[in-house]
Amino acid sequence: MRTPIIAGNWKMYKTVHEAIAFTKEFRQLVKDVHGVEVVVAPPFTALHAVVEAARSSPVAVAGQNLHWERDGAFTGEVSAAMLHEAGAEYVIIGHSERRRLFGETDGNVNRKVVAALAGELTPIVCIGETLEERESSRTLDVLDRQIKEGLDGLSASQVAGLVIAYEPVWAIGTGRNATPQQAQEAHAHIRGRVRQWFGAEAADKCRILYGGSVKPDNIRDLRAQPDVDGALVGGASLDPKGFSAIVRDGSRR
């Protein structure tokens, strides 16, 4: 049985003060929720403060990105060692905004995944197609490429322990979302490829999240799908009450 994950990606929102206030309120709202892993990904400036505010609560913390080198002359970058020292347990890699706005490639994603694992962080590896790719019936081909190149060289046990987030790019911040059936089709395909390329155990253990305009009113239908193991939530994770509702409903099938 795979433990579901509900992760909130705050993107470039919340000062340190705002992040601490959110965490203090949110941890009380989810303190009695069981059977789900809860993750928040604050901006780097607030990461350590959120770790401290979430201490002794069910809330884990993720970085939103990292560089694949441990250190070096990479102005503006953050390493896995830095995230781990600050208290992060997870890191988001290959988010569609990183790919679209900052030129992130599948090769870069792969190097970052390897660095995250070496740095004792659990990668949340994002994949997904654009609207043009979906409308031209290339969704599954795009997913195949992103999985194959993004996870290249990993062992079956490494893949078993990471998290994949399927986020159709056309649903990020648009108010549109894949139907539960579309999400299940993509998730089943992803799990099938993991099974084909990394084995049955990896496929059975690897958790696959849906990301793309997840809200309290659609999380139940998404989680009802057999291959949807939770959600990577964007804008709806910025409000503690709304996000706690997603966590509660996302903890159940």
Catalytic residue among 67, 104, 167, 187: 167
Average pLDDT over residues 239-253: 91
Verify whether residue 34 is a known catalytic residue: no
Q: Is the distance from CB of 166 to CB of 211 less than 8 angstroms?
A: yes
Indicate if the pLDDT at residue 91 is higher than 80: yes
202-244 pLDDT, tens digit per residue, is: 999 999 999 988 999 999 999 999 999 999 999 999 999 999 9
Verify whether residue 187 is a known catalytic residue: no
CATH number of the domain that 185 lies in? 3.20.20.70
Which pTM was predicted? 0.96
Catalytic residue among 95, 104, 129, 187: 95
6-32 pLDDT, tens digit per residue, is: 999 999 999 999 999 999 999 999 999
Cα 34 → chain centroid: 20
- Domain boundaries, position 18: 5-250
Q: d(Cα 38, Cα 247) in Å, to the nearest integer? A: 7
Structural domain total, the chain: 1
Query: Cβ neighbours of residue 249 under 8 Å, at least 6 residues apart?
Result: 216, 219, 220, 223
Sign for the CA dihedral angle at 101, 66, 210, 129 comes to positive
Q: Is the distance from CB of 202 to CB of 195 less than 8 angstroms?
A: yes
Q: d(Cα 192, Cα 181) in Å, to the nearest integer? A: 16
Residue 13's Cβ-count burial label (10 Å; 0-12, 13-18, 19+) is middle
104-145 pLDDT, tens digit per residue, is: 999 999 999 999 999 999 999 999 999 889 889 999 999 999
Sign for the CA dihedral angle at 200, 201, 203, 204 comes to positive
152-173 pLDDT, tens digit per residue, is: 999 999 999 999 999 998 877 6
